[in-house]
C-alpha cells in the first residue's frame, strides 16, 4: 500500500503537469472582424449567447472524398458546435450541429457552417425574421495551439450577439 506522502507527491506532480496545459487556452484571434462577418451597426432584436466549437481529428487522407482536395496541412477534422442563445434577457435555448471532414486550417467553411446554422435557428427567437446579422464576437478563448501545431484537442469558445428583423 502506498504511503500518503507518496500519493500526495504523485497528485502534486500530475496537477503541476496539467496546469500549464490548461493555461495554454487563450485568444489567438486578435481581430474577430477579420474572421467573422460582423455588422456592428445592424438593427433589430438582440439575440445573444455563447458559441462553443470542438474538433474531433479524423484520418487525413491523401485525397478528401468530400472536397477532392489534397491532405490537410494541420489536421482533418469533424467540427461540432453548440449555440446557446437567448432573446434579450429571456430564457436561453441550446442548439447543436456539425461539419464533417474539413481541414482545421480552413476557417471559411467553418464560419459559413456556423452562420448558416444560426440563420436556421434565429426564428426560434424572432418569429418571421427575414434577416439577421452577427453584430459582435467577444471573449474568444481558443485552444492556444493553432500557431504551434501541437496535437489536439482543438476547441474554440466565444460570446456572440446577433440582431434579427
- pLDDT single digits (tens) 96-112: 999 999 988 899 999 99
Q: Higher confidence at residue 142 or residue 138?
A: 138
pLDDT tops 60 at residue 147: no
What lies within 8 Å, CB to CB, of 73 at 6+ separation is 103, 105
The rounded percent of the chain whose pLDDT value lies above 90 is: 52
Q: Higher confidence at residue 32 or residue 49?
A: 49
Sequence-ordered alpha helix ranges (H) in 99-152 = 107-121
| E strand or H helix that includes residue 155 | strand 154-164
C-alpha closest to that of 110 among 36, 44, 4, 2: 36
Q: How confident is the model at residue 89 (pLDDT cuts 50, 70, 90)?
A: confident
Q: What is the mean pLDDT of residues 68-94?
A: 89
pLDDT of residue 41: 96
Contact present, 105 and 73 (Cβ < 8 Å): yes
pLDDT of residue 145: 54
How do residues 70-82 score in pLDDT, each as one tens digit? Answer: 678 888 899 999 9
pLDDT tops 60 at residue 132: yes
C-alpha closest to that of 35 among 163, 165, 164, 160: 160
- Summary mean pLDDT of the chain: 79
User: What is the C-alpha to C-alpha distance for residues 89 and 64, in angstroms, rounded to an integer?
Assistant: 43
Beta-bridge partner residues of 76? 58, 103
Sign (positive/negative) of CA torsion 61, 74, 96, 40?
Answer: negative
Q: What are the helix and strand counts (H, E) for the chain?
A: 3, 5
pLDDT tops 60 at residue 148: no
Q: Is 113 left (phi over 0), alpha (psi -120 to 50) or beta?
A: alpha
pLDDT tops 90 at residue 152: no
Q: How confident is the model at residue 86 (pLDDT cuts 50, 70, 90)?
A: very high
Task: Calculate the dihedral angle through the C-alpha atoms of 158, 41, 92, 165, rounding to the nearest 10 degrees.
Answer: -140
Reported pTM: 0.73
C-alpha cell at 34: 477579420
Amino acid at each position: 500500500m502506498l504511503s500518503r506522502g507518496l500519493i500526495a507527491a504523485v497528485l502534486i506532480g500530475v496537477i503541476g503537469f496539467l496546469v500549464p496545459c490548461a493555461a495554454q487556452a487563450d485568444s489567438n484571434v486578435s481581430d474577430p472582424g477579420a474572421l467573422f462577418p460582423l455588422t456592428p451597426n445592424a438593427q433589430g432584436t438582440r439575440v445573444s449567447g455563447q458559441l462553443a466549437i470542438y474538433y474531433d481529428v479524423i484520418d487525413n487522407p491523401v485525397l478528401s472524398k468530400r472536397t477532392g482536395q489534397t491532405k490537410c496541412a494541420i489536421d482533418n477534422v469533424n467540427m461540432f458546435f453548440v449555440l446557446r442563445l437567448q432573446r434579450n434577457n429571456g430564457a436561453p435555448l441550446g442548439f447543436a450541429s456539425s461539419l464533417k471532414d474539413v481541414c482545421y486550417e480552413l476557417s471559411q467553411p467553418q464560419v459559413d457552417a456556423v452562420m448558416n446554422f444560426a440563420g436556421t435557428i434565429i426564428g426560434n427567437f424572432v418569429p418571421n425574421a427575414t434577416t439577421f446579422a452577427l453584430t459582435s464576437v467577444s471573449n474568444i478563448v481558443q485552444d492556444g495551439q493553432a500557431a504551434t501545431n501541437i496535437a489536439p484537442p482543438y476547441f474554440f469558445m466565444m460570446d456572440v450577439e446577433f440582431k434579427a428583423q
